[in-house]
């Protein structure tokens, strides 16, 4: 049945009735094992699929028309969180469903709803708004930036969601991201470096920007200075080592100095790193 395939191997009783199946026909298929009960009024099409995405589709079906996957479950569906957690979360007008966390939301608009992997879900921007109060600063920063890097999250749409929901507990947490039009960071190290520059009142660098054909981690254009953040994970093999030195020499040819800061130095001696960087920025 095409309808069941679109729902990741699950179908709701109401859908079957709307297609013209009688109650007796549905009961016969249940008795034969062709349909497998998953939630009240939701059936899996044998063989049963129990992967998280299929379970998410079934949860949305179980919560009735207009229900959408939301909060942490939506974040995982979009790839904004790495791991599925259970019970699954759904925004719905229906009351509680066993094994599902249901949320009521009067501010959800049509533009806040889309589909991902065929499942009705909150948009990436609305998903971030709903998750923001649950996350610490580092986690929220990565969620926003990872969403932007994936192409799912757009600042203009995020700004719209925030402006339409000024009293949502996530709105104030997201305003700094809406107001920062800079390029998204790619790692926690880059997040920490931006905060480091602000904390030590260093100039604000451009992040992940192209300079002479190379994408650099941080660039201080008024000081002709590039800062590369060298975590071992990305720079500990011979090929990367050589490429880094080639890039440094090429940038120096154009009059740009490069400072490389390791995560170990950054973590164990931030005061010393800040003082040295300030002196380099102040130098000729």
Q: Chain-centre distance of CA 17, in angstroms?
A: 38
Q: At what angle do helices 188-199 and 270-282 cross, to 10 degrees?
A: 70
Please give the structure tokens belonging to residue 146.
Answer: 């990872």
Q: Confidence class of residue 69 from pLDDT cuts 50, 70 and 90?
A: very high
Phi-psi region of 223 (alpha: psi -120 to 50; beta: other; left: phi over 0): alpha
pTM greater than the 0.85 cutoff: yes
E strand or H helix at 215: strand 214-220
pLDDT tens profile 238-281: 788 889 999 999 999 999 999 999 999 999 999 999 999 999 99
Is there a single domain that holds both residue 131 and residue 212? no
Is there a single domain that holds both residue 40 and residue 149? no
Least confident of 3-7, 165-169, 209-213, 270-274: 3-7
| Cα-Cα-Cα-Cα dihedral sign, residues 274, 275, 276, 280 | positive
Give φ, ψ of 228 to 5 degrees.
-105, 135
Q: Confidence class of residue 46 from pLDDT cuts 50, 70 and 90?
A: confident
**Residues 71, 91: Cα–Cα separation, whole Å:** 8
CATH number at residue 224: 3.40.960.10
How crowded is residue 212: how many other Cβ atoms within 10 Å of its Cβ? 13
Buried-exposed string 138-165: b where 16+ CB fall within 10 A, e elsewhere: eebbbbbbbbbeeebbebebbbbbbeeb
Task: Reply yes or no on whether the pLDDT at 10 is more than 80.
Answer: yes
**Residues 278, 143: Cα–Cα separation, whole Å:** 30
Is there a single domain that holds both residue 30 and residue 122? no
Q: Confidence class of residue 234 from pLDDT cuts 50, 70 and 90?
A: low
Total tally of structural domains belonging to the chain = 3
pLDDT tens profile 93-138: 877 889 999 999 999 999 999 999 999 999 999 999 999 999 999 9
Of 146, 181, 216, the residue that ends a domain is 181
Is there a single domain that holds both residue 207 and residue 171? no
**Residues 128, 158: Cα–Cα separation, whole Å:** 9
Domain region containing 16: 1-50
Q: Confidence class of residue 3 from pLDDT cuts 50, 70 and 90?
A: very low
pLDDT tens profile 140-175: 999 999 999 999 999 999 999 999 999 999 999 999
Stronger pLDDT, 181 or 234, i.e. the higher one:
181
The residues that bridge with 101 in the sheet, in sequence order, are: 89
Is there a single domain that holds both residue 158 and residue 214? no
Q: How far is CA 216 from CA 148, 166, 258, in A?
A: 18, 36, 10
Contact 195, 207 (CB under 8 A): no
Of 10, 26, 50, the residue that ends a domain is 50
pLDDT at 181: 85
Mean pLDDT of the chain: 93
pLDDT at 132: 98
Is there a single domain that holds both residue 147 and residue 86? yes
């Amino acid at each position: 049945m095409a309808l069941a395939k679109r729902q990741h191997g699950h179908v709701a009783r109401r859908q079957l009735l709307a297609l013209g199946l009688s109650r007796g026909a549905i009961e016969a298929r249940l008795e034969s094992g062709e349909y497998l009960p998953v939630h009240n009024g939701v059936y899996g099409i044998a063989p049963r699929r129990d992967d998280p995405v299929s379970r998410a589709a079934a949860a949305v079906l179980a919560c009735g028309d207009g229900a959408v996957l939301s909060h942490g479950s939506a974040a995982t569906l979009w790839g904004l969180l790495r791991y599925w957690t259970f019970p699954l979360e759904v925004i719905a007008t229906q009351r509680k469903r066993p094994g599902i966390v249901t949320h009521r939301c009067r501010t959800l608009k049509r533009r806040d709803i889309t589909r991902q992997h065929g499942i009705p879900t909150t948009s990436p921007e609305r998903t971030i708004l709903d998750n923001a109060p649950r996350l610490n600063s580092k986690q929220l920063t990565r969620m926003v930036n990872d969403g932007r890097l994936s192409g799912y999250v757009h600042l203009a749409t995020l700004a719209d969601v925030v402006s339409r929901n000024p009293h949502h507990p996530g709105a104030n947490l997201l305003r700094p991201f809406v107001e920062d039009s800079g390029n998204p960071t790619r790692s926690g190290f880059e997040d920490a470096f931006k905060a480091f520059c602000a904390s030590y009142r260093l100039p604000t660098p451009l992040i992940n920007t192209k300079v002479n054909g190379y994408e650099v981690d941080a660039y201080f254009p008024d000081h002709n200075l590039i800062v590369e953040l060298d975590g071992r994970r990305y720079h500990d093999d011979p090929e990367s080592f050589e490429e880094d030195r080639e890039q440094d020499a090429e940038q120096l040819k154009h009059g740009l100095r490069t400072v490389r800061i390791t995560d170990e130095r950054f973590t164990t001696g931030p005061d010393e790193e800040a003082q040295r960087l300030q002196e380099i920025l102040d130098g000729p």
